Every structure is written in C-alpha cells, then in structure tokens.
C-alpha cells in the first residue's frame, strides 16, 4: 500500500502528541505536516512543543516547521488528524473539509452533526456512509469523521453485545477517570493527590448522549438514535491512564447472567477480519478475576486499544452490573481516531492523492 501523507492539527497539545507517538512507525500513515496555534507556527516542532509523552519525541517530527492551521498550508497531505481544542475546532475543521482535505477528528464539535459519523469501528462501521451526506465540497472530497468521548468508548463497546442481543432499557454509570483525560497541564496535583473530585465539567452529557448515536441505526442517510436513558456520574481519580466505569444496566428482554456473559465473551467485532493495523486482537476482553480490570495494569493491553470488562454479575436493582475500562488517550482519543482512519482507508474513503 502506498503511504499516506498526513497532517496533525493541534500537534503541540496532549492529543496531538499522542497522535505523533502512535503514528511513529505506522505502516500506512506518514506525518508530513504539523499545525498548531499562530504562537507556535514557524518554529521547529522540537522548539514549539513541550513534549510530555514518556517515550522520546520521534526524530522524524523534530525538525518539521509548525504551520498555522489553515487549509492552504496543508495542500500536500492526503488527510489530517485533528486534536484541536474545541474552542477552535469548528471553524478550522470546516475550512479543511471545504478545501477537500478529509478531517479525522478527536474534537467534540461535529460529533452531534447529523451528517458526521461518530465512529467506533467495532461498533458502528456502517455509519461511515454518512460521509456521503456531507456537503463541505461539491465533489465529496472533503469531509469530517469523529471519534467519541473517552468514557463513551468503553461504555458503548461493552453495551454493544447486550444491545444487539437484548436491547438496552437504561444505564446507570459512575466513571473514575484518569488525569491524562484533562490534557496538560490539566489537573493540578494539589487538587487530585490522595483525592477524588466528584465532578468533570461537560462530561456527563457526552456520556449520556454519545452512546445513543453510536448504537443508532443508519436509515436513509441518517442515524436513528438508540433510545434509552443514561444516568452518569463522572469523577476524577489519581490514576494516570485508563478510565474505569461501574455500570449497571437494565435490559429490554430479560436474560440470565450466563446468557449475558456469553454475549459479551463471544462477541465478535464486525471489523475483525479486516486486519487493520491498530485494531486490537480482542476489542472486548472479559476478565474472570474479580479484582480486574485495573487501569494501571490493563490500560495498555492490546496496544491500549482494548475495552476490558470484569465483574459481570446479576444486579439487585436493574439487571446486570459490570466494570468496564479502557485507555482514555489511546482507545478513547488518538488511537481511536487512527483506527477510524484505517477503516476509512480500507473502505476506500481515504485515498492517496
């Protein structure tokens, strides 16, 4: 396969850095352009960036001159990944799409747009057809695809086999979220060391809404949302990577614990046979040890792309309780976006110029 030239928007931020780290050595995608704020533009990346990843900055990007995030600066790339802050993503991403440059975005801005796919390849790969409804360009060359919030990913992935088999009636979820989810500098150490903060601004509405689009059905070029209420409590805990969820579910069609477990254990991802480079071998892993999954131990499993589930049990209220966990900045952010791009390549939506 020819290598794709890719640009990163928001390249100096925490998500941008994660894109750069994960794309180093990628078999299909080569970073050729980096975009950031006007403050960084014109500097070499190694000067512009306060590198916070735990592995060294890839040699390849060190001397790339950072560009302003304007589409005319990115004419050479085949598409861009966007790790832009939501305060600027609306206009910049539209500018790129209108210029015929596909945008694979981690920003929340277009997630609720009816013609923009909110995509987890293992959950709703067919939603990519929505791209055909977008009108950024006449020839369809420019469009936007988004990946979900970092809690919505393990929540929806773990609900998917249950929704397919029994239907979801309602969900109560409490999340314990890692500090890396707040970016850098993010959470002050004085706030979180030895502590729990029982509130994350703006988070709970995303947890409530995004699973409904993700589990929705594509029909005549539009997504019919799934229809069940989610009650979410989002908390921050002193963990570096990995959001852990305590989930209790009510099912439309009642089912015994054995059946529920079976559905989750035997669930097979619809993209399993595509062998996408970043796809986890086991997108949904069921743990038997009641002490598992744990964020520090299991967040990196399967390249950080796995949703781990444990403690599946009969609930005394509603029907089923379980724990779900995934790496928030890999599976829940940059890694999820990269997998989206891989699916879009495989399905012919992304092409080398």
Q: Does 291 bind a second copy (CB under 8 A)?
A: yes
Phi/psi of residue 240, each to 5°? -85, -50
Instruction: Please report whether residue 270 would count as binding a second copy according to CB under 8 A.
Output: no
The correct pick among 59, 258, 317, 348 for binding a second copy (CB under 8 A) is 317
State the binding string over 41-60 for a second copy (x if CB under 8 A, else -).
Answer: -----------x-x------
| Alpha-carbon distances of 205 from 151, 200, 260, rounded to whole Å | 11, 10, 27
Q: What are the structure tokens assigned to 70, written together?
A: 């304007």
Tell me whether strands 79-82 and 168-177 are parallel, antiparallel or unpaired.
Answer: unpaired
The reply to whether 248 sits near a second copy by the rule CB under 8 A is: yes
Regarding 213 and contact with a second copy (CB under 8 A), the answer is: no
Binding mask 67-96 for a second copy (x = CB under 8 A): ------------------------------
- Please report where in the chains the tokens 């975005």 appear, as a residue: 105
Distances in Å between the alpha carbon of 146 and those of 2, 33, 64, 107, 337?
24, 20, 26, 7, 7
Question: Is 69 among the catalytic positions?
Answer: no
Three-state secondary structure call for residue 16: helix
Among 1, 138, 190, 273, binds a second copy (CB under 8 A): 190
**CB nearer a second copy, residue 140 or residue 238:** 238
**150 noted as active-site residue:** yes
On the question of a cis peptide bond just before residue 293, with omega within 30 degrees of 0, the verdict is yes
Q: Which residues pair with 205 in a beta bridge?
A: none
For the CB of residue 164, give the shortest distance to a second copy in the complex, in Å: 21
Closest separation between CB of residue 66 and a second copy, Å? Answer: 20
- Say how far apart CA 213 and CA 223 lie, in whole Å: 7
Q: Examine residue 321 and tell whether it contacts a second copy (CB under 8 A).
A: yes
**Pick the catalytic residue: 127, 163, 243, 287?**
243
In the complex with a second copy, the residue whose CB is nearer, 71 or 175, is: 175
- Which H or E element spans position 93? helix 86-98
**CA–CA gap between residue 90 and residue 152 (Å, rounded):** 21
According to CB under 8 A, which one of 300, 303, 346, 347 is a site residue for a second copy?
A: 300
Stretch that binds a second copy, among 21-29, 219-227, 269-277, 317-325 (CB under 8 A): 317-325
Q: Which of 268, 260, 161 is nearest to 215 (CA)?
A: 161
Any contact of residue 202 with a second copy (CB under 8 A)?
no
Query: Is it true that the peptide bond before 138 is cis, omega within 30 degrees of 0?
Result: no
Question: Which listed residue (38, 184, 253, 256) binds a second copy by CB under 8 A?
Answer: 184
- Strand 243-251 and strand 320-326: pairing? antiparallel
Minimum distance of a second copy from residue 81's CB (angstroms): 22
Q: Which of 3, 7, 2 is nearest to 337 (CA)?
A: 7
Query: Minimal distance in Å, beta carbon 256 to a second copy?
Result: 17
- Quickly tell me which residue has 């609720």 as its tokens: 112
Residues annotated catalytic, as ranges: 150, 243
Binding site for a second copy (CB under 8 A): 52, 54, 170-172, 174, 176, 179-180, 184-199, 208, 229-231, 233, 235, 237-240, 244, 246, 248, 250, 290-297, 300, 310-311, 315-318, 321, 323
């Amino acid at each position: 396969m020819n290598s794709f030239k890719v640009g990163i928007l928001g390249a100096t931020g925490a998500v941008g850095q994660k894109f750069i780290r994960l794309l180093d050595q990628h078999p299909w995608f080569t970073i050729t352009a980096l975009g950031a704020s006007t403050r960084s533009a014109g500097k070499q990346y190694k000067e512009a960036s306060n590198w916070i990843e735990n592995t060294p900055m890839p040699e390849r990007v060190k001397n790339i001159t950072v560009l302003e995030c304007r589409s005319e600066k990115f004419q050479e790339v085949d598409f861009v990944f966007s790790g832009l802050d939501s305060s600027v993503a609306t206009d910049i991403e539209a500018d790129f799409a209108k210029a015929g440059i596909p945008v694979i975005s981690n920003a929340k801005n277009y997630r609720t747009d009816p013609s923009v796919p909110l995509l987890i390849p293992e959950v709703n790969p067919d939603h990519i057809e929505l791209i055909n409804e977008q009108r950024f360009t006449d020839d369809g060359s420019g469009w936007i695809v988004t990946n979900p919030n970092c809690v919505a990913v393990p929540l929806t992935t773990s609900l998917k086999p249950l929704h397919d088999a029994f239907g979801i009636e309602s969900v109560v979820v409490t999340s314990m979220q890692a500090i890396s989810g707040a970016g850098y500098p993010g959470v002050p150490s004085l706030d979180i060391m030895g502590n729990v903060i029982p509130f994350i601004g703006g988070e709970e509405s995303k947890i409530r809404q995004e699973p409904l689009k993700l589990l929705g059905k594509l029909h005549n070029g539009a997504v019919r949302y799934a229809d069940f209420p989610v009650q979410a409590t989002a908390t921050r805990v002193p963990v570096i990577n990995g959001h852990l969820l305590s989930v209790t579910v009510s099912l439309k069609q009642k089912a015994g614990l054995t059946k529920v477990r079976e559905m989750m254990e035997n669930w097979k991802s619809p993209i399993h046979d595509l062998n996408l480079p970043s796809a986890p071998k086991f997108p949904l892993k069921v743990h038997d040890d009641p002490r598992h999954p744990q964020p520090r131990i299991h967040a990196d499993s399967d390249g950080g792309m796995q949703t781990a589930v444990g403690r599946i049990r009969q609930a005394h209220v509603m029907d089923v309780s379980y724990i779900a966990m995934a790496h928030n900045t890999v599976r829940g952010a940059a890694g999820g976006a990269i997998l989206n791009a891989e699916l879009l390549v495989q399905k012919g939506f992304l092409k080398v110029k």
